[in-house]
Amino acid sequence: MTAATEPVGASAPAPVPAPAPAAAGTAVPAGAAETDRHAVTSAPEGRLRVYVWQTPVRISHWVTATAIVVLSITGGYIADPFIIPPGGAIMTNVRLIHMVFAIVLIASGLVRAIYLLVGNRFARWSAFIPTSVHQLTEVFRQAGFYAFIRKEIPRIIGHNQLAAAAYLLLWGLLLVETITGFALDGLLGSEPARRRSGGRARSSARNSSG
């Protein structure tokens, strides 16, 4: 999601460095004119458009989502083949696709990790890890709204603290899955690697016997 709209005069987020034009954005209150130097532009009806998610962040988001889907399907097939019988080169190809997308996931995670340090205020680590009492209590305000306990909609641009906590949990799980996946590959070997090593072993055996 790259856009959210707030009327003029609504509460604005904490100020950050001054504005510059932006390509894709989010409409925010007039008070948010000081919100991000990287991207504030005028919009109709007294609203302002602010650039929230930088292009590399958005790309890494969708690359990660695609990798998770592919890894889930191929991983499930490797564990318990379904629909297509695992004969011939099918399992070899599925394992290869699984390994390629594991590397894609790692590359996407590294890009996102870099933007935790150099990204704008919506993408930085401080937007995910609470550094103030307000951020800590935001988790409960947001949870209260989702649970229909609070009627007021929390006015948040970017990720609210509850969503940020969910993202941290997700990336933690992905890290564990990546480590255990490569550990299993190291212990058991991937199908393509086994075939290559098996072929070399048979070839050397034939050469020695000849």
pLDDT, tens digit (0-9, with 9 covering 90-100), for 35-50: 444 455 555 666 788 8
| Both structure tokens of 72 | 């889930």
**Cα angle: 174, vertex 178, 183; to 5 degrees:** 150
Q: Which residues is 49 bridged to in the sheet?
A: 27, 41
pLDDT at 190 over 70: no
| Global pTM value | 0.64
Q: How many CB atoms lie within 10 A of CB 127?
A: 20
* Among candidate residues 86, 88, 59, 62, the one with its CA nearest the CA of residue 74: 86
pLDDT, tens digit (0-9, with 9 covering 90-100), for 106-160: 999 999 999 999 999 899 998 998 888 888 888 888 889 889 998 888 788 888 8
Q: How far apart are CA 112 and CA 110, in angstroms?
A: 5
